[in-house]
Structure 1
Amino acid sequence: MPAKSKKRGNNEGSIYRRKDGLWCGQITIGRDESGKQKRQYFYGKTRQEVADKIAKALNDLKNGVYVDPARLLLKDWLNTWLWEYKKQTLRPSTFQDYESLINNHIVPAIGHYKLKDLRPEHLQALYNSKYGNGLSLSTIKHIHVILHSALDQALKNGLVVRNVSEATTLPKTKTKNEIRVLTLQEQQRFIAALEGERLRPAFLLALASGVRLGELLALKWDCVNLKEGTITIKRSLRRIKTYDKNLPTKTMLAFQEPKTAAGIRTIPVPPVILEELKEHRKRQLEERLQAGSLYEDNNLVFATELGTPIEPRNFLRVFYRIIEKANLDINFHALRHTYATRLLEANEHPKVVQELLGHNDISTTLNIYSHVMPEIKKAAAMKLNNLFENINIKGNHS
């Protein structure tokens, strides 16, 4: 049987299939200092994949933007990947988080390696070192996601032969961190400590709806239905970098949409909290009249006395003053955990709790609140017990 033709198309370079089934291609990218030709190799599962990589490389050579993989450092590729491939697709806050993880954790440890020389053990040592120094497993997972995505793009671009992040193993926590939930007594102490606070309704709403800090501070009156007794979460507020040299400040407060569709949700609010919101609305209108032309109407439910968005850090300062008064040691997220726990304790279905919290997957809800599940299972068993109460367990053995 005649061998298959290896004839290449125009400008494809040389493409052939190796014995292991992988397709390989090569092109000349110039000459080294001794005048010897320098070749760049490309690999793929199909001939077309290799041909596409070669075509891109040839086009980059033609336009003078080709980067020699032999000299490309990981830190330089991460910068290119972040700004050229991710900037337009990530939320501003996520982009900022990615940049922070790259600059503070990845680049200082392994950024000096040439991209082509990067090995699984380099990444593995990074993960292990960070874990050993107390970095949370969640943060390490985010670092892995960044590296995996960046190296996957490098593979598509023909800069590397394989994605070495796939040969790594993430550390596993030995014990699961216990989440902090207010007891009923602590919950009452917290509510009592809110007396006289201007933002009392904000903290009550957080405890009664489980919304996140950014979601609470981004809530607008057109998303509050006092008649139906609901609030609708559509956005969150966060301080982010501007990355614009023409702006007077390096950071700004920005509203942004939730990460997933599940984050957009409507939450029923207890009637007693609705009354608090109504009274809060009246006081807010009084503040607007007092401020006059200085007032900036952003239609925010919780704003400064001049109507501007509340800086999250300033809001948290108020929160920590309140919990000190209540003699509690919690963070703001504990209010969200308490809300979810109270619902599950009241035998609300986990699927409903998932939707109210805005979790994308019910497994997230079940994993976080597994501490409540034993009591729910016990209650279910007691319900079944009622069906068997009249059974003679010993039976008749006459």
Structure 2
Amino acid sequence: MKGSIKERSPGHWAIILDQRDPATGKRRRKWHSFKGNKRGAQTECARLISEMNGGDYVEPSKLTLAQFLDRWLKHIKPNVSPRTHERYEQIALKNIAPLLGAKVLSKLQPIDISQAYSKALESGRRDGSGGLSPRTVHHMHRVLFSALGQAERWRLIARNPAALLEKRDRPKIERKPVRTIDAPATAAAFDAARERRLFIPLILATLCGLRRGEITALRWRCVDLDKGQLAVVASTEQTDAGTIREKEAKSGRARTVALPSMAVEELRRWRVLQAEEMLRLGVRADDDLHVVTQVEGSPLQPRSLTHSVSEFLKVWGVTLHGLRHSHASHMLASNIHPKIVQERLGHSSIAITMDIYSHLMPNMQGEAAATVDGVLRAAINKRTDDVG
């Protein structure tokens, strides 16, 4: 492998790489452009030769990032849910492409990405009203990181420039504690909702920690009132286009949730009422029926559930998702081990649970310290009395 440089004009260099085709023995020449001084051109030439010798060389291409993102979105479409693909497409085409889309993919550098994030935070809104939130820019980074990782696997780039960004150069998110509801307010909300259709969703969120999509996907065949448990095996997903589909539980993990006696009682009562409701419509209720339904028995849409519950809960300043967080808060405040909280909520790891509810940990640490202190003091006092 040989390489040479040639100055085309002041500050512009051609890097010529010569190699032999292993099949024919004929010489093949590859050209690269470089902008800078002679030493920089020599360094780049040496780097390219090293990549070719090491098998990491990537053919030069004029493919832009925008063109690649379009290709990548088509590639991942069969492998992700419609809602996930919709979200990736929005971020890639509406947030990333306007800032970096014109860049040639093979020439994209970490500094280009870092500058794009800064610009997005400062003036990234499409309506010109200011910058995007750190959380949105963080999602941009995750999508770009994933897309460029695929480009690296396809050998379109030598390395993923998004992976080369230091942590301090990535968007930072300040996690805001989610509003929760305490026991007295929960009791008041239950009383106000008892005769309404949204009462059972409140029960499932507050007493069982189910997500919105898990509530709307739950069927009676997954509820065992005699054993006092339910199985979360599916979740309902709704796209911006209004399409609704049932998919497997989040992270692909089904889980079993033990039901508090109050939940068992209310679900028993509701099943009788729902069956009577169906009979009046000339329909026989069976185990395939959804637990939460419209009056005519059709499943409730996730966004409809959010709208009705959010409107109802305005008085208490909490959302439907806030009820799920309230369930976790109540458990942790009662010294339930975080591992149990993780299992009930369906988090993929205990680290996620600890991260989300870290603001509750100082109180738990104080109680733990007091417990340890009490045990040791008792032991020390007993030893003193025995010696005396």
2: CA distance, partners of 1:130 / 1:153: 24
Q: Are residues 1:142 and 2:134 paired?
A: no
1:152, CA displacement in angstroms? 2.5
CA gap of 1:121–1:225, structure 2 versus 1, over 3 A, is same
2: CA distance, partners of 1:138 / 1:258: 25
Q: Are residues 1:336 and 2:336 paired?
A: no
1:23, CA displacement in angstroms? 4.8
Query: More displaced, 354-363 or 116-125?
Result: 116-125
1:194, CA displacement in angstroms? 0.9
2: CA distance, partners of 1:351 / 1:362: 6
1: CA distance, partners of 2:251 / 2:136: 19
Matched residue SS, 2:358: coil
1:101, CA displacement in angstroms? 1.1
CA gap of 1:344–1:215, structure 2 versus 1, over 3 A, is same
RMSD: 3.1
Of the three residues 100, 109, 122, the one matched with 1:110 is 100
The 5 Å alignment of 1:283-294 reads 283-292=273-282
Of the three residues 245, 249, 266, the one matched with 1:254 is 245
1:209 is matched with 208
2:61 is matched with 69
Matched-pair contact (CA < 8 Å) for 2:220–2:287: no
1:265-296 C-alpha deviation (Å, 9 max, x unpaired): 11001111111111111111122122236999
Matched residue SS, 1:292: coil
1: CA distance, partners of 2:343 / 2:154: 40
1: CA distance, partners of 2:29 / 2:207: 64
1:127-178 C-alpha deviation (Å, 9 max, x unpaired): 22334456444433332122122222223333334322123321224x5412
One-letter amino acid of the structure 1 residue matched with residue 223 of structure 2: V
Of the three residues 137, 143, 148, the one matched with 1:151 is 148
2: CA distance, partners of 1:161 / 1:380: 51
1:297, CA displacement in angstroms? 9.0
1:93, CA displacement in angstroms? 2.0
TM-score calculated relative to the size of structure 1? 0.76
2: CA distance, partners of 1:195 / 1:8: 78
CA gap of 1:308–1:9, structure 2 versus 1, over 3 A, is farther
TM-score calculated relative to the size of structure 2? 0.78
1:359-398 C-alpha deviation (Å, 9 max, x unpaired): 11211111111122122222222222332445469x9xxx
1: CA distance, partners of 2:171 / 2:295: 47
CA gap of 1:320–1:11, structure 2 versus 1, over 3 A, is farther
1:222 is matched with 221
Matched residue SS, 1:330: coil
2:196 is matched with 197
Q: Are residues 1:357 and 2:340 paired?
A: no
The 5 Å alignment of 1:282-321 reads 282-292=272-282, 299-321=289-311
Q: Are residues 1:10 and 2:43 paired?
A: no
CA gap of 1:259–1:322, structure 2 versus 1, over 3 A, is closer
Number of residue pairs matched?
Answer: 340
One-letter amino acid of the structure 1 residue matched with residue 160 of structure 2: N
1:92, CA displacement in angstroms? 2.2
1: CA distance, partners of 2:22 / 2:92: 40
1:97, CA displacement in angstroms? 1.3
Matched residue SS, 2:239: strand
Identity of paired residues, percent?
Answer: 29
1:285-318 C-alpha deviation (Å, 9 max, x unpaired): 1221222369999521111122222122221222
Matched-pair contact (CA < 8 Å) for 2:181–2:323: yes
Matched-pair contact (CA < 8 Å) for 2:221–2:287: no
Structure 1, unpaired ranges of 5+: 1-5, 26-44, 55-67, 242-249
Shift >6 Å, 4+ stretches: 293-297
Matched-pair contact (CA < 8 Å) for 2:138–2:171: no
One-letter amino acid of the structure 2 residue matched with residue 383 of structure 1: T
Matched-pair contact (CA < 8 Å) for 1:8–1:15: no
